[in-house]
Amino acid sequence: MTELADLFESLKPELVVSGFVFTEGPLWHPSGILYVSDVDAEIHYRVRLPGIGGTAAKEVIRENSGGANGAVFDRQGRVVICEQVARRVVRYESDGSITQLADRFEGKRLNRSNDVVLHPDGSLYFTDPDKKGLPEEEKELGYAAIFRLRPDGELTLLARDMNHPNGLAFSRDHISLYVSNSRPDPHLHAYDVSSSGELINSRRVCEMPYGPAGELDGVPDGLKLDADGNIYSTGSGGIWVWDADENLLGVVELPELPANLGWGDSDNRTMFVTARTSVYRLRTTAPGIPVQH
């Protein structure tokens, strides 16, 4: 049986860069740049990585980022990012401008768009939790949701049966979508993805209970899979890991509580982890599922 240590070259994370308030949205570009969002400071950065042992350099892309959070590349290689404070999904254009892709559904403002992934047909799937901290008078939808934004701009509701969908990731064959649920019942969730891209057969995969300090010990959040089907989700105490058969293998601890993770480097076997004030990396034995760029 696969052991947790089998999936990593080492379970000791390496510090990449620090000095943030609350890091999120790690997104690797093959030019050697890691996009990182400081959600609480509302600043979006690019971090230039010199390699193991070198010093990373932070560069501000945008201040007043609207609480930029989860990010992905679209089929044209443009950054698409969820702005949870601005309550919208936007795209960075090559000329430096920003295009708003979605901020309302059926005339009602989104809650606080959180994380986003790309489907092979070019659609963007994103989570929109009924976010803790959003004043009741500002909640217009009245439910948490997973949405699909088609290439033609049509926004459709895919699911509303989770109370706080957060991180999300497709399986390599795109027939399953895994989603983390942050609160009030922390767990890993899954859907089958139909041939038309709909979400069906909703099910709970695994409970992810809080630690003794409750949410202060971390909640289910960022989520990714590797090419072998292993599942990685940040949660209470660190990164929770399951094998391809959804058996829980254990939790990888870090110096700070992680919120999200993403794959990178030329072989796609470096796991970059955004953890509160810092970014760490771990080398894995299997590559991550590639992200379009």
CA distances to 18, 60, 190, 205, 277 from 44, in Å:
14, 6, 30, 33, 14
Domain for residue 290, yes or no? no
Total H helices, total E strands in the chain: 0, 26
In a domain, 171, yes or no: yes
Which residues, in sequence order, are bridge partners of residue 38? Answer: 23, 43
How large a percentage of the chain has pLDDT more than 90? 91
pLDDT for res 292: 62
- C-alpha closest to that of 68 among 37, 36, 99: 37
Split into its structural domains, the chain has a count of 1
Does residue 116 lie in a domain region? Answer: yes
How far is it, in rounded angstroms, from Cα 188 to Cα 179?
A: 6
Which CATH number belongs to the domain containing residue 167 in this structure? 2.120.10.30
- Is 281 within 8 Å of 273 (Cβ atoms)? yes
- Domain residues for the domain of 45 are 4-283
| Residue 219 domain-assigned (yes or no) | yes
Q: Is residue 12 part of a domain?
A: yes
289 assigned to some structural domain: no
Name the residue among 286, 211, 274 with its Cα closest to residue 9: 286
In the chain, what are the helix, strand and coil shares in percent, each to the nearest 5?
5, 50, 50
> If you average pLDDT over residues 5-18, what whole number do you get?
96
81 bridge partner residues: 71, 90
Residue with tokens 């139909």: 194
Rounded to 5 degrees, φ, ψ at 272 are -90, 130
d(CA 21, CA 194): 39
pLDDT at residue 259 in the model: 98
Which tokens go with 48?
């230039």
Q: Is residue 35 part of a domain?
A: yes
pLDDT, tens only, 111-160: 999 999 999 999 999 999 986 668 888 899 999 999 999 999 999 999 99
Arithmetic mean of pLDDT over the chain: 95
Mean pLDDT lowest among 48-52, 128-132, 212-216, 249-253: 48-52
Integer Cα distance of 212 and 111 in angstroms: 29
Instruction: Report how far apart, in Å, the C-alpha atoms of 196 and of each of 25, 37, 146, 264 are.
Output: 28, 32, 16, 30
Considering the domain boundaries, does residue 292 fall inside one? Answer: no
**The model's pTM:** 0.96
| Percentage with pLDDT > 70 across the chain | 97
> If pLDDT is split at 50, 70 and 90, which confidence band does 54 have?
low
Question: Backbone dihedral region of 70: left (phi > 0), alpha (psi from -120 to 50 degrees) or beta?
Answer: beta
User: Residues near 216 by Cβ (< 8 Å), separated by ≥ 6?
Assistant: none
pLDDT per residue over 63-108, tens digit each?
A: 999 999 999 999 999 999 999 999 999 999 999 999 999 999 999 9
Confirm if 135 and 127 have CB atoms less than 8 A apart. no
pLDDT at residue 45 in the model: 98
Query: Which of 99, 161, 239, 229 minimizes the C-alpha distance to 90?
Result: 99
